[in-house]
Amino acid sequence: MTELTVAVVGSGYMGGGIAQVLALAGATVKIADISEEIAVRNYERLLDEARQFVADGLFPDDAVERLEAHLSPAASIEEAVADADFIEEAVPEKIEIKHETLRRISAAARPDAVIGSNTSTILIASLAEAVTRPERFLGVHFSNPAPFIPGVELIPHPGTDESVIPLVEDLVASTGKETARVKDSTGFVLNRLQYALFHEATQIVEEGIATPEDIDTIVRTTFGFRLPVFGPFAIADMAGLDVYAFCYASLQTRWPERFATPESLKELVDAGKFGTKSGAGYLDVPAERTAELVAYRNKAYVAMKKLIDELGPAPIHLAAAPVAH
């Protein structure tokens, strides 16, 4: 549990979810919005959501009591941030709104308060222009829905003081989430990868190769099925980087530029580093751990399938109409 004082500015869907998880972790959290009325209304909504999440078994049994003890609405942005150790900005994804909000936060916050932005698309260095003492500012990007997605991108800009990052890492870790540090670049990592997949999926639909429904089935039941357990580099290392090189060569018979072999892959294959089977690849997993890794992989995939079967199909498609007799 954490004893930090936190302000979340922007109490809507994302900001509210962030406030919930930080308060449940023991931080003293104040939420603020464009008016006290909206902050109070969203505070009540967060408590109502928490009651439903408890009933559904998604939050601990004492979640509502913990939120009532640690979470409160503030009369203004200035009141919320005045005593905060950490401030998370979660206002709409428009740079002019974020700049105005960050100026207000900077003017009212303590000089040593660390300020994060939940932006998913705007360069952190661009947002930092509105922050007094921008060395204490960075991106802290939670994913939707914030209470339940466990990964958080941390994005320092070139002027961020490295010493502020551990405070944020510890705060996020106290919620049970995992952080990854990435450089300030358009799209960061999450959205750059997510949109690359979506772009290729739309190309396949537009070429008439498969329907959206069939593409979704393929993604969630094949390579996407691996992704909760392994990232793309671990998957490539286990498949064999030499195999990946052959597959790139095959794809290049149709799309020589779109699927050009990555330079890093060429270098590893040329050096005889084929992944786990050779004891070296992108992740350098020792060859003697291959059997252990394969056993873990198989166990994980069986557990994933059992979980999915237990949950049943997602309620995306309308049920078939009953047949008339």
Q: Quick: pLDDT tens for 173-232.
A: 999 999 999 999 999 999 999 999 999 999 999 999 999 999 999 999 999 999 999 999
Q: Indicate whether 65 belongs to any domain.
A: yes
90 shares a domain with 171: yes
125 shares a domain with 34: yes
pLDDT at 319: 54
Helix axes 36-55, 63-70, angle to 10 degrees: 160
157 shares a domain with 36: yes
The boundaries of the domain holding residue 127 are: 5-181
Q: Indicate whether 319 belongs to any domain.
A: no
Q: Are strands 137-142 and 28-32 parallel, antiparallel or unpaired?
A: unpaired
Q: Residue 120: is its pLDDT beyond 60? A: yes
236 shares a domain with 172: no
Tell me if the pTM is above 0.75. Answer: yes
| SS3 assignment, position 87 | strand
- Taking a C-beta distance cutoff of 8 angstroms, is the pair 57, 91 a contact? no
Average pLDDT over residues 125-154: 97
170 shares a domain with 65: yes
270 shares a domain with 176: no
pLDDT band at 279; cut points 50, 70, 90: confident
- What percent of the chain shows pLDDT beyond 70? 97
Q: Indicate whether 227 belongs to any domain.
A: yes
pLDDT tens-digit series, residues 64-94: 999 999 999 999 999 999 999 999 999 999 9
14 shares a domain with 135: yes
E strand map for the chain:
5-9, 28-32, 71-73, 86-89, 114-117, 137-142, 151-156, 178-181
d(C-alpha 23, C-alpha 1), whole Å? 10
**Between residues 3 and 239, the one the model is more confident about:** 239
Which of 130, 151, 181 lies at the terminal end of a domain, its last residue? Answer: 181
- What's the structural domain count of the chain? 2
163 shares a domain with 16: yes
Q: Quick one: which of 195, 177, 187, 185 has its CA closest to 156?
A: 185
Q: Indicate whether 202 belongs to any domain.
A: no
End-to-end CA distance of the chain: 61
Which of 126, 152, 181 lies at the terminal end of a domain, its last residue? Answer: 181
Any idea what the CATH number is for the domain that residue 276 is in?
A: 1.10.1040
Which of 181, 214, 237 lies at the terminal end of a domain, its last residue? Answer: 181
Q: Residue 2: is its pLDDT beyond 70? A: no
pLDDT tens-digit series, residues 280-309: 999 988 888 888 999 999 999 999 999 999
160 shares a domain with 28: yes
Q: Residue 320: is its pLDDT beyond 50? A: no
104 shares a domain with 53: yes
Q: Indicate whether 77 belongs to any domain.
A: yes
β-sheet with 114-117: strand ranges across: 71-73, 28-32, 5-9, 86-89, 114-117, 137-142, 151-156, 178-181
Task: Round the average pLDDT of the chain to a whole number and report it.
Answer: 95
